[in-house]
Amino acid sequence: MSHNGRVSERRYVITFGCPDRTGIVARVSSFLADAGGWIVEAAYHTDLDTGWFFTRQEVRADSLAFGVDELRARFAEVAASLSAESNWRVEDTAERRRVVILVSKEGHCLYDLLGRVASGELDVDVRAVIGNHESLAGITRAHGIPFHHVPFPPGEKAEAFAELRKLVDEHDPHAVVLARFMQILPPELCEAWSGRAVNIHHSFLPSFVGARPYHQAHRRGVKLIGATCHYVTADLDAGPIIEQDVIRVDHGDSVPDLVRKGRDIEKVTLARGLRWHLEGRVLVHGNRTVVF
């Protein structure tokens, strides 16, 4: 996996959150040092409001005499001693991240992601693109990626979502990317894909939630429009925020101008947020994130 454009050697990435107290850093550092672990990147944060501690550690895989499964087994004891419970992960950068992309008719986010994958900038395995229209089948297949059409006729959405879930789950993806999918996931899917479903919303949340945010923004006469990459939850456009960005607009911009300018922000915000998610840089605590 690459970070900031550089290709790195194989690493194990440890992330966790736990109640803050003295000695956490020493406990983790001692554990890794005793195992011969060579730490190449480390980040820490304490949330003073909640009294919660977060960290992310990258360790050179070749510095350990055992593999990732053994590391997970050994670290489980450390996590338990720190009351990290289920809030910890050990990931292997040698495992290519599997991604499934959900789309509708608008293709700018899909084009951007496929271009980044094709150029090697985003080293992920896009297993499939699933669309509720067939508009983007051609560009998907041109990149050698399977495209599945799942229509969403009125009155049959439950069946459509069941088919969608089947197609997604067979790939066990690290990320389900809603690249302007324009369908609201039902609560059971939000739960099943919790922490993996990544959405791009075309406004600077929490402003202009829901449909046609550029029209809402134009009516309000805003001077900045933005985009928000966030995790999907059952609360519409209210999941933990991974990344946001903005661009200036003015009174002379029409709604089509806002849409055109906004697309550029949507693309980079989604790509950035997705990369951080796949690199294990995003830790969720409640409805907030820590991004290392």
d(CA 129, CA 157): 19
Q: Which two tokens stand for residue 234?
A: 């059952």
Range of the domain at 24: 2-92
Residue 271 in 3-state DSSP? helix
More confident residue, 7 or 66: 66
Is the separation of the CB atoms in 196 and 222 below 8 Å? no
Residues 6 or more apart whose CB falls under 8 angstroms from that of 119 comprise: none
d(CA 225, CA 201): 11
Are 118 and 57 in a shared domain? no
Reference 229, options 281, 173, 271, 187; nearest CA is: 271
Are 169 and 273 in a shared domain? yes
In which band, very low, low, confident or very high, does the pLDDT at 205 lie, cut at 50, 70 and 90? confident
Are 156 and 250 in a shared domain? yes
Gap between the terminal Cα atoms of the chain: 16
Are 102 and 132 in a shared domain? yes
Over residues 200-227, the mean pLDDT reads 89
Q: How many structural domains does the chain have?
A: 2
Are 114 and 217 in a shared domain? yes
d(CA 280, CA 221): 38
* φ, ψ of residue 191 in degrees (nearest 5): -70, -45
Are 177 and 123 in a shared domain? yes
172 is catalytic: no
Decide the pairing of beta strands 147-149 and 97-103.
Answer: unpaired
* CATH number of the structural domain spanning residue 229: 3.40.50.170
Model pTM score: 0.93
Q: Has residue 147 got a pLDDT over 90?
A: yes
- Domain end: 58, 75, 92, which one? 92
Are 86 and 102 in a shared domain? no
d(CA 51, CA 64): 32
In which band, very low, low, confident or very high, does the pLDDT at 194 lie, cut at 50, 70 and 90? very high
Are 170 and 236 in a shared domain? yes
In which band, very low, low, confident or very high, does the pLDDT at 14 lie, cut at 50, 70 and 90? very high
Are 36 and 81 in a shared domain? yes
Scanning the structure block, which residue is given the tokens 């915000």?
Answer: 269
Over residues 46-63, the mean pLDDT reads 96
In this prediction, residue 87 carries a pLDDT of 80
250-259 long-range contacts, CB within 8 A, separation 24+: 250/223, 251/221, 253/218, 254/218, 255/214, 255/215, 255/218, 258/214, 258/217, 258/218, 258/225, 259/214
Are 79 and 147 in a shared domain? no
DSSP H helical ranges for the chain = 24-34, 68-81, 108-118, 137-142, 157-169, 187-192, 213-220, 255-278
In which band, very low, low, confident or very high, does the pLDDT at 8 lie, cut at 50, 70 and 90? low
* CATH number of the structural domain spanning residue 36: 3.30.70.260
Q: Has residue 108 got a pLDDT over 80?
A: yes
- Domain end: 67, 92, 117, which one? 92
In which band, very low, low, confident or very high, does the pLDDT at 208 lie, cut at 50, 70 and 90? confident
Over residues 280-291, the mean pLDDT reads 94
Over residues 122-149, the mean pLDDT reads 97
Q: Has residue 199 got a pLDDT over 70?
A: yes
Half-sphere exposure of 253 (CA within 13 A, CB side): 23
Q: Has residue 67 got a pLDDT over 50?
A: yes
Over the stretch 242-270, which tens digit does the pLDDT of each residue have?
A: 999 999 999 999 999 999 999 999 999 99
- For the chain, percent of residues with pLDDT exceeding 90: 88
Q: Has residue 2 got a pLDDT over 60?
A: no
- Domain end: 58, 92, 126, which one? 92
Is the separation of the CB atoms in 13 and 174 below 8 Å? no
Q: Has residue 7 got a pLDDT over 50?
A: no
d(CA 111, CA 271): 11
In this prediction, residue 93 carries a pLDDT of 95
Average pLDDT of the chain, as a whole number = 93
Q: Has residue 6 got a pLDDT over 60?
A: no
* Number of neighbouring beta carbons within 10 Å of residue 32: 22
Residues 6 or more apart whose CB falls under 8 angstroms from that of 139 comprise: 107, 110, 111, 114
Q: Has residue 3 got a pLDDT over 60?
A: no
d(CA 36, CA 67): 13
Are 77 and 218 in a shared domain? no
Are 84 and 209 in a shared domain? no
In this prediction, residue 105 carries a pLDDT of 95
Residue of 49, 69, 123, 237 marked catalytic: 237
